[in-house]
Amino acid sequence: MAQATSGSVRVANEVIASIAALAAREVEGVQDVDQSSARQLMDWLKRQTVHSGVRVALDGERKLHLDVFLTVVSTAALQVVAARVQANVVEAVERMLGLEVAEVSVFVSSVAF
């Protein structure tokens, strides 16, 4: 029988961002996660770091707040794509990491024609 060990598991923001970015890319209508626009905007607004086109923040209740920056194909319905990205990101992060996601904000930073 395995002995229980004490300690903690910490997940880097880069890992959380990578999982969220992969989940966003799986959604039909998403061309890519827009890393450069996300980085420029967050640097300008809040001096916060963005990884893989996703900003990760943890609130006082240990819930995640994610901002995902996307390039969407021109034929896609933006509201539909955004809603699917939100659902897919929440499902992937909660399933893979066991962390609660409070919100996923989607920013369409460009459209691919």
pLDDT digits (tens, 9 = 90+) for 50-89: 788 899 999 999 999 999 999 999 999 999 999 999 999 9
* Mean pLDDT of all residues belonging to the chain: 89
Domain 13-112: give its CATH code.
3.30.70.1350
Kindly list the domain boundaries of the chain, sorted by start residue.
13-112
SS3 1: coil
Rounded CA-CA distance 5/65 in Å is 30
- 32: tokens are 């890519």
| pTM: predicted TM-score of the whole model, two decimal places | 0.85
Question: Is the distance from CB of 18 to CB of 1 less than 8 angstroms?
Answer: no
pLDDT digits 0-9 by tens, 35-58 = 775 555 555 556 566 788 899 999
pLDDT of 36: 72
Closest CA relative to residue 32, chosen from 2, 67, 73:
73
